[in-house]
């Protein structure tokens, strides 16, 4: 990032959450609540193959037997699953075949969010899959990508057009019974993105999905599946926002990544779901299972996340390092302000020889929030010469918030090396005085210092995201001083 970008901090004078508007579009809903009928309704609505319905029903039945997890350092109010719409979609007039046929109201919504769906208008080479509530409304650049043999489409389209690929890989990294929220997602997921990069292909542009919750009382349950074949490379970005509403809304996604021999997948997230108001009312419950497997030798999966939104975040992007010499990375900045709660981190499971993993986590807590890092580094008996380095730093702004670190280290191999370091501190008075003495006001000084603190992670983001993320960091902390 250049020196220029930080200047953006000073331009920001808007209200706290600028994506809080609601688009007035006609929406059709599944019947309220959750039952086998809901699951069947969603599957029928999407005209899914039989195997998919069976998978959903198995997951649903399993979910019914599972208790909600309580181990995280979070206070999660009970969720009434019968008062949520599990499927909501903007009403279509007819099948879409070109951009002209997308509801102009929807196009305007995405324009307002800074996401242009018009390929002509896009300056940078980023292909976008735009998901609103339960459906994908438009995937850009699909045709361009198809020339390289790359499949990038909505999950629903993938089920229609590439059912074998979906059947082969879906649930192979995150089984439906993996946890409470993955089971729920497997039963009721509605849409999401699918990317397949064939052998030897370097994806020429960034792929991205933009998730938007619009309808009230609606949960969003998206599903993303990324497959990189031998020697393939892809960089994938995910962004998300939601309107400001007084009630809490549920978001439970599953992301699966499969990297075959020598493949590399870079997955970046800027999570900015509505965090709730200053009193802690409303906001998104963000319960996400993200996991990748480095299946082939020499493969690499890298997660980068900037988490600023959501009332509650529960999320542990993980890597299973199965192939020899495979590499897993996790870079995270998590900011919590007001009454937000975040429990996030990563799991690195070393199974292959000479596997390497890096975890860099920067937590920033302000207001009355609680921010926890939770991570697991596991070195199995047969993972010879494996290495992990973890660094988890916490920054506290104010004396009513909390910062916690829960690293789990499990090693059963003598030739491996695991190192974990963590610090917790506050912005020093000396740093603030130094900035102020140069004429910088307190809030900008904090923005500057926090951005500097998070720089190691922000640097890992693609350019398109980095500037956005910097702005977000400062906005999220507005009003946290005093």
Partner 1 sequence: MLLQIKNLHASIQGKEILKGVNLEVNRGEVHAIMGPNGTGKSTLASVIAGRDIYEVTAGEVVFNSLNLLDMPVEQRAREGIFLGFQYPVEIPGVSISNFLRTALNDIRKYKGLEPMPATEFLAKMEEKKKLVEIHSKLTNRSVNEGFSGGEKKKNEIFQMAMLEPILSILDETDSGLDIDALRIVAGGVNSLRSEKNATIVITHYQRLLEYIVPDFVHVLYEGRIIKSGGKELALELEEKGYDWLKNGG
Partner 2 sequence: MILSDITNFDQIFRENLKTIGRRDTEIVSEYRADALNHLLRLGLPTSSNERWRNTDISKALQTDYSIFFEDFQDQLKPEDYFTCEVAGLDTWLITLLNGWYTFKNSPLRILPSGTIIGSLSRAMVECPELVENHLGKAADNSENAFTAMNSAFATDGFFIYVPDGVEVTKTIQMVNVVSHTDPIFVQTRNLVILGKNSKLRLAHCDDSHNHNPGFTNSVTEIIMAENSNLDHYKLQNINDHSTLINNTYIHQEAGSKCTTNALSLHGGFIRNEIFVKLNGRESSVDVYGLYLMDKKQAVDNYVFIDHAAADCTSTEMFKGILDDYAHAVFNGHILVRKDSQRTIAYQSNRNILLTDKAQINSKPFLEIYADDVKCSHGATVGQLDTNAMFYLRSRGISEDNARLLLMYAFAAEIINKISIESLRDRLDDMVKKRLRGELSICDQCVLHCKTPDKPIEFEIDLSKV
- Contacts with partner 2, residue ranges (CB under 8 A): 71, 73, 379, 381, 394, 396-426
Helix (H) or strand (E) holding 469, with range, is helix 463-476
Least Cβ distance, residue 62 to partner 1 (angstroms): 45
Using DSSP's 3-state secondary structure scheme, residue 320 falls into strand
Cα(228)–Cα(233) distance, integer angstroms: 7
Of residues 231 and 407, the one with the C-beta less far from partner 2 = 407
Number of residues that bind partner 1 (CB under 8 A): 29
Angle between helices 180-188 and 36-45 (to 10 degrees): 50
Burial label for 392, CB within 10 Å (0-12, 13-18, 19+), is buried
Of residues 409 and 432, the one with the C-beta less far from partner 1 = 432
Query: Which does residue 66 touch among partner 2, partner 1, none (CB within 5 to 8 A, set by kind)?
Result: none
Q: Which of 18, 40, 92, 455 binds partner 1 (CB under 8 A)?
A: 455
Strands 283-294 and 254-259: parallel
Q: Give me 279's structure tokens.
A: 């009193």
Cα(200)–Cα(166) distance, integer angstroms: 20
Least Cβ distance, residue 412 to partner 2 (angstroms): 4
297-314 as b/e: b if 16+ CB within 10 A: bbbbbbbbbbbbbbbbbb
Of residues 139 and 355, the one with the C-beta less far from partner 2 = 355
Least Cβ distance, residue 477 to partner 1 (angstroms): 15
Query: Which does residue 278 touch among partner 1, partner 2, none (CB within 5 to 8 A, set by kind)?
Result: none
* Residue ranges in 395-454 that form contacts with partner 1 under rule CB under 8 A: 428-431, 433-442, 444, 448-449, 451-454
Query: Which does residue 452 touch among partner 1, partner 2, none (CB within 5 to 8 A, set by kind)?
Result: partner 1
Of residues 36 and 410, the one with the C-beta less far from partner 2 = 410
10 part of the interface to partner 1, by CB under 8 A: yes
Of residues 174 and 454, the one with the C-beta less far from partner 1 = 454
Of residues 73 and 162, the one with the C-beta less far from partner 2 = 73
Burial label for 185, CB within 10 Å (0-12, 13-18, 19+), is buried
9 part of the interface to partner 1, by CB under 8 A: yes
Of residues 154 and 394, the one with the C-beta less far from partner 2 = 394
Cα(411)–Cα(413) distance, integer angstroms: 6
Query: Which does residue 409 touch among partner 1, partner 2, none (CB within 5 to 8 A, set by kind)?
Result: partner 2
Of residues 144 and 385, the one with the C-beta less far from partner 2 = 385
Query: Which does residue 423 touch among partner 2, partner 1, none (CB within 5 to 8 A, set by kind)?
Result: partner 2
Through-space distance between the first and last CA atoms of the chain, rounded to whole angstroms: 30
Least Cβ distance, residue 27 to partner 2 (angstroms): 43
Query: Which does residue 418 touch among partner 1, partner 2, none (CB within 5 to 8 A, set by kind)?
Result: partner 2
DSSP string over 165-218: HHHHHTTSSS-TTSSHHHHHHHHH----EEEEE-TT-B-SSEEEEEEE--STTB
DSSP string over 376-425: EEEE-TT-TT-EEEEEEEEEE-SSS-EEEEEEEEEE--TT-EEEEEEEEE
Query: Which does residue 440 touch among partner 1, partner 2, none (CB within 5 to 8 A, set by kind)?
Result: partner 1
Least Cβ distance, residue 75 to partner 2 (angstroms): 14
Cα(173)–Cα(418) distance, integer angstroms: 24
Q: Look at the alpha carbons of 20, 21, 23, 24 in this order and tell me if their dihedral is positive or negative.
A: positive
Of residues 13 and 82, the one with the C-beta less far from partner 1 = 13
7 part of the interface to partner 1, by CB under 8 A: yes
**Residue numbers at the binding site for partner 1 (CB under 8 A):** 3-4, 6-7, 9-10, 428-431, 433-442, 444, 448-449, 451-456
């Amino acid at each position: 990032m250049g020196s220029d970008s930080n200047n953006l901090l000073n331009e920001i004078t808007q209200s706290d959450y600028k994506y809080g508007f609601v688009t007035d579009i006609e929406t059709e809903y599944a019947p309220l609540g959750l039952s086998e009928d809901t699951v069947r309704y969603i599957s029928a609505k999407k005209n899914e193959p039989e195997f998919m319905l069976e998978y959903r029903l198995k997951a649903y039945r399993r979910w019914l037997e599972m208790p909600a997890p309580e181990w995280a350092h979070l206070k999660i109010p009970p969720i009434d699953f019968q008062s949520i719409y599990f499927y909501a979609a903007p009403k279509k007039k007819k099948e879409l075949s070109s951009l002209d046929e997308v509801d102009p109201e929807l196009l305007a919504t995405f324009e307002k969010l800074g996401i242009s769906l018009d390929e002509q208008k896009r300056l940078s080479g980023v292909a976008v899959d735009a998901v609103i509530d339960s459906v994908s409304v438009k995937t850009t650049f699909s045709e361009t990508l198809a020339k390289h043999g790359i499949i990038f489409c909505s999950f629903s389209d993938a089920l229609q057009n590439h059912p074998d690929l979906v059947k082969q890989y879906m649930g192979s990294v995150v089984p439906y019974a993996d946890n409470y929220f993955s089971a729920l997602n497997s039963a009721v997921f509605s849409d999401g993105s699918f990317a397949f990069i064939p052998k030897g292909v370097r994806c020429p542009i960034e792929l991205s999905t933009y998730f938007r919750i619009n309808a009230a009382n609606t949960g969003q349950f998206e599903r993303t599946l990324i497959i990189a074949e031998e020697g393939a490379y892809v960089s994938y970005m995910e962004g998300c926002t939601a309107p400001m509403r007084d009630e809490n809304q549920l978001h439970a996604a599953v992301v699966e990544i499969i990297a075959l021999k020598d493949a590399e997948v870079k997955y970046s997230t800027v999570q900015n779901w509505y965090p709730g108001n200053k009193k802690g009312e409303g906001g998104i419950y963000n319960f996400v299972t993200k996991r990748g497997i480095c299946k082939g030798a020499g493969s690499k999966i890298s997660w980068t996340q900037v988490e600023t939104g959501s009332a509650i975040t529960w999320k542990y992007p993980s890597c299973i390092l199965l192939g020899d010499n495979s590499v897993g990375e996790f870079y995270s900045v998590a900011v919590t302000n007001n009454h937000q709660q975040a429990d996030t981190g990563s799991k690195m499971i070393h199974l292959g020889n000479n596997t390497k993993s890096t975890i860099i986590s920067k937590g920033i807590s302000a207001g009355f929030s609680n921010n926890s890092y939770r991570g697991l580094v596991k070195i199995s008996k047969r993972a010879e010469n494996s290495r992990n380095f973890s660094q988890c730093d916490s920054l506290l702004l104010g004396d009513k918030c909390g910062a916690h670190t829960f690293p789990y280290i499990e090693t059963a191999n003598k030739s491996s090396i695991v190192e974990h370091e963590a610090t917790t501190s506050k912005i020093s008075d000396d740093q603030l005085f130094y900035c102020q003495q140069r004429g910088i006001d307190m809030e900008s000084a904090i923005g500057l210092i926090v951005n500097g603190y998070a720089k190691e992670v922000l640097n890992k983001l693609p350019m398109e995201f980095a500037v956005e993320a910097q702005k977000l960091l400062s906005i999220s902390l507005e009003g946290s001083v005093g």
